[in-house]
């Protein structure tokens, strides 16, 4: 993005509302999700990097928010997107209640390798998902970089009993992903490997594809700088894609759905991780993008002033987000950055 295409900071700050929305279940340690919501000239947009992210990483998320709120989007090739159920690292007794929030979903993505938990807890959770969804369902696991290579090989060997669609980011680095993939294949338990953090947090999002270290890539619009830039990465990577999100409000989910809808036919590797509004206890639109019959619609949700007011963040948090917008805007305006 060049300087000339950036809306002025004042336009962003005029258009922003900061919300704090409780989650229904603890997810990634989060019980309240904060987000900056823009009412942009092209429609609502969202800036919601996690609060611990530094400005350089968060600036990509702001580039995405500006792209979605201030520029026309690539044409949608489909009007609904199939989504997976997202199962946080809960105990087996809670799984049925989580799955019930994802009506019609025939794919589940299950969080594993949560810090402080054991492989036995992961196995119990995945076993319960398989038992409840039946043999035809697709089950994915997401370790969020939580395992070493040895732990990943042991865990995925155990979890492969439940027939896995793929394992998302079992380890942190590209060479580790490659090693897990090779060791599982050599042992005769091939599990497909999906790269997530290796795409969205990497200085070079294409390195994992070039190294042949993953079978597919997870692509997220906000961390990759927006729908158009994510589409470029998909084209260059040449691997099947699952579009996912980051526990966004319906506005951020709409950005992800726009990306999924613009993908050339044949690139999508099944259901997308865009059903997570079901894990939030509130939203900023009266028509939330929650899964219905296994999918969500493509399109821009209308903001609700009433809900923006109901979930308005405390004044000091709103100030924190406005200052973050300003710092990230300054980074995007710095000549010479990508
Ligand atoms: O992909 C999904 O099913 C939902 C999104 C998700 O898992 C997620 C949500 C917030 C932060 C990280 C992740 C992740 O995919 O690792
Ligand atoms: Mg992931």
Reported as a single tens digit per residue, the pLDDT across 179-237 is: 999 999 999 998 999 999 999 999 999 999 999 999 999 999 999 999 999 999 999 99
**Average pLDDT in the 130-144 region?**
98
For residue 5, what pLDDT is reported? 85
Q: Which domains does the chain have, with CATH numbers?
A: 3-72+305-333 (3.30.390.10), 80-297 (3.20.20.120)
% of the chain surpassing 70 pLDDT: 98
Ligand 1 atom nearest to 50, measured from its CA: 11
**Average pLDDT in the 126-143 region?**
98
C-beta of 140 in contact with ligand 1 (< 6 A): no
Report in angstroms the alpha-carbon separations of 156 from 165, 197, 209, 244: 12, 18, 21, 22
Check whether 57 has a pLDDT greater than 90.
yes
Q: Is 283 annotated as a binding residue?
A: no
How far away, in angstroms, is 244 Cα from ligand 2 center? 8
- Which runs of consecutive H residues, i.e. helices, occur in the chain? 9-15, 55-70, 92-99, 119-133, 149-159, 174-186, 197-200, 207-210, 227-237, 250-262, 305-310, 315-333
**Average pLDDT in the 49-62 region?**
97
Q: Is 214 helix (H, G, I), strand (E, B) or coil?
A: coil
C-beta of 107 in contact with ligand 1 (< 6 A): no
How far away, in angstroms, is 245 Cα from ligand 2 center? 9
Here the tokens at position 280 are 């939030």
Residues 6 or more apart from 186 whose CB is under 8 A from it?
none
% of the chain surpassing 90 pLDDT: 95
CA 292 and chain centroid, separation = 19
Q: Is 55 annotated as a binding residue?
A: no
- Which runs of consecutive H residues, i.e. helices, occur in 82-215? 92-99, 119-133, 149-159, 174-186, 197-200, 207-210
From the CA of 217, which ligand is nearest? 2
Of 61-65, 102-106, 332-336, least confident by mean pLDDT is 332-336
For residue 2, what pLDDT is reported? 44
Taking the C-alpha atoms of residue 212 and residue 114, their distance in angstroms, rounded to an integer, is 27
Catalytic (active-site) positions: 111, 220
**Average pLDDT in the 148-160 region?**
98
C-beta of 28 in contact with ligand 1 (< 6 A): yes
Report in angstroms the alpha-carbon separations of 305 from 15, 24, 240, 250: 13, 22, 39, 14
Taking the C-alpha atoms of residue 109 and residue 87, their distance in angstroms, rounded to an integer, is 6
More confident residue, 265 or 279: 279
C-beta of 245 in contact with ligand 1 (< 6 A): yes
Q: What is the ipTM of this complex?
A: 0.97
How far away, in angstroms, is 313 Cα from ligand 2 center? 27
For a ligand 1 pocket test, name from 98, 273, 279 the mutation site with the most ligand atoms within 8 angstroms of its C-beta.
Answer: 273
Ligand 1 atom nearest to 83, measured from its CA: 3
194: which DSSP letter?
A: E
Here the tokens at position 187 are 């042992």
How far away, in angstroms, is 286 Cα from ligand 2 center? 28
Burial pattern 116-134, b for ≥16 Cβ within 10 A else e, equals eeeeebbbebbebbbeebe
C-beta of 324 in contact with ligand 1 (< 6 A): no
C-beta of 229 in contact with ligand 1 (< 6 A): no
Residues 6 or more apart from 59 whose CB is under 8 A from it?
328, 331, 332
Task: List the residue whose alpha carbon is closest to atom 2 of ligand 1.
Answer: 273
Taking the C-alpha atoms of residue 211 and residue 308, their distance in angstroms, rounded to an integer, is 44
Angle (CA) 43 49 54, round 5°:
135
Taking the C-alpha atoms of residue 224 and residue 200, their distance in angstroms, rounded to an integer, is 6
Confidence band (pLDDT; 50, 70, 90) for 265?
A: confident
Ligand 1 atom nearest to 111, measured from its CA: 7
Taking the C-alpha atoms of residue 300 and residue 298, their distance in angstroms, rounded to an integer, is 7
C-beta of 276 in contact with ligand 1 (< 6 A): yes
How far away, in angstroms, is 78 Cα from ligand 2 center? 24
Neighbours of ion ligand 2 (CB under 5 A): 142, 168, 196
Confidence band (pLDDT; 50, 70, 90) for 13?
A: very high
Total-model pTM? 0.96
For a ligand 1 pocket test, name from 25, 27, 28 the mutation site with the most ligand atoms within 8 angstroms of its C-beta.
Answer: 28
Q: Which of 262, 264, 199 is nearest to 225 (CA)?
A: 199
Confidence band (pLDDT; 50, 70, 90) for 3?
A: very low
Taking the C-alpha atoms of residue 41 and residue 297, their distance in angstroms, rounded to an integer, is 21
């Amino acid at each position: 993005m060049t300087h000339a295409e950036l809306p002025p900071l004042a336009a962003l700050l005029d258009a922003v509302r900061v919300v704090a929305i409780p989650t229904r279940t603890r997810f990634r340690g989060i019980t309240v999700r904060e987000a900056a919501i823009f009412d942009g000239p092209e429609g609502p947009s969202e800036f919601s990097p996690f609060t611990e992210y530094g400005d350089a990483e968060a600036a990509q998320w702001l580039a995405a928010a500006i792209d979605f709120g201030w520029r026309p989007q690539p044409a949608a090739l489909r009007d609904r997107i199939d989504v997976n159920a997202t199962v946080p690292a809960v105990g087996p007794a809670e799984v049925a209640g989580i799955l019930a929030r994802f009506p019609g979903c025939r794919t589940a993505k299950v969080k594993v390798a949560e810090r402080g938990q054991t492989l036995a807890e992961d196995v119990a959770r995945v076993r319960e998902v398989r038992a409840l969804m039946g043999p035809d369902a697709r089950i994915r696991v997401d370790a969020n970089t939580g395992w070493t290579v040895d732990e990943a090989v042991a865990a995925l060997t155990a979890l492969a009993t439940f027939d896995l669609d793929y394992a998302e980011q079992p380890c942190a680095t590209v060479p580790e992903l490659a090693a897990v993939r090779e060791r599982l294949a050599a042992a005769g338990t091939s599990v497909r490997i999906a790269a997530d953090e290796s795409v969205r947090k990497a200085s070079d999002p294409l390195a994992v594809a070039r190294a042949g270290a993953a079978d597919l890539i997870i692509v997220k619009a906000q961390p990759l700088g927006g729908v158009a830039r994510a589409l470029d990465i998909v084209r260059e990577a040449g691997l099947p894609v699952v579009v996912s999100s980051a526990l966004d409000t319906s506005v951020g989910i709409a950005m992800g759905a726009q990306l999924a809808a613009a993908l050339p036919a044949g690139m999508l590797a099944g259901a997308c991780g865009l059903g997570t509004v079901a894990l939030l206890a509130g939203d900023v639109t009266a028509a939330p993008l929650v899964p219905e019959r296994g999918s969500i619609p493509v399109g821009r949700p209308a903001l609700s002033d009433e809900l923006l007011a109901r979930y308005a963040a405390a004044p000091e948090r709103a100030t924190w987000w406005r200052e973050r917008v300003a710092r990230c805007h300054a980074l995007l305006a710095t000549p010479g950055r990508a």
